[in-house]
Amino acid sequence: MTTGEWIGLGISYAYAIGLLLFGEALHRFAGLPADLTRKMIHIGAGMWVFGILALFDRWEIGIIPFATFIFVNFILYRYRIVRAMDREDSSPGTIYFALAITLIYALLWRPQGPIDRGVAATAGVMAMTWGDALAALTGQRIGRRRYTVGQSTRTLEGSAVMFAASAIAMVLTMLLLPGSAWAPFAPFADPARAVVAAFLGAAVATAVEAVSPHGTDNLSVPVAAAAVAFLAGI
């Protein structure tokens, strides 16, 4: 590995540790509820994919931080070490999220070309990062119209926010990332195709989230949304 890759790994782990400590401090000392700090950590972790895109030129090395946290998150979940992230009734969603990011970037992200489909992977992660977090907070605080599909219970308010937030996050990713320093080999998408792909991806993500029980949406949503973006040629 190159010196730059070692530095990138160090920055990634420092960011992850700092994010966990920040969330724990807000929970323990500022009194923020665990459901809020968990989603703050969730958003911070998901947004770090842009750090990965910026720091690494090889996908094999770039996926290492998230792959590592599959196992780290399992330990944190198993022993409830970080109360800001894992309560007694928490799901193993953090494990699934790290697994999903590792899988879709291993399959799609090729930063050295000739064709890089990392934008599709990133769009899928953004649907989960923002859509799921805002949907959960909305449903828990103002959700009134509940519905159940199998073992999964959601609110109409939360699902509406899930769709809107996912669509916005996906379309911004599809329009702004290709051709940038973070994705120089990614195919460009015309605005109309990006909007259609984002709305389809958001609809699929919302449907998948609604039927995925006990944290499994952290795996199913980013994979499904990324698949839609990939099939749309993003």
Cβ–Cβ under 8 Å, residues 109 and 230? no
pLDDT value for 87: 64
pLDDT value for 157: 96
Encoded amino acid at 170, one letter:
M
**CA distance to 12, 40, 113, 118, 143, per residue, from 47 (Å):** 12, 11, 23, 14, 26
pLDDT value for 189: 86
**CA distance to 16, 136, 139, 157, 215, per residue, from 145 (Å):** 36, 14, 9, 7, 21
Indicate yes or no: pTM above 0.85.
yes
pLDDT value for 165: 98
Q: CA–CA separation, 44 vs 40, rounded Å? A: 6
Give the domain extent around 138.
Answer: 3-231
Encoded amino acid at 199, one letter:
F
- Return the closest-CA partner of residue 11 out of 47, 52, 39: 52
| Total of domains in the chain | 1
pLDDT value for 81: 84
Walking along the chain (234 residues) 10 residues at a time, the average pLDDT comes out as: 97 97 93 92 97 98 98 91 72 93 98 96 98 93 90 93 98 97 94 97 97 93 98 95
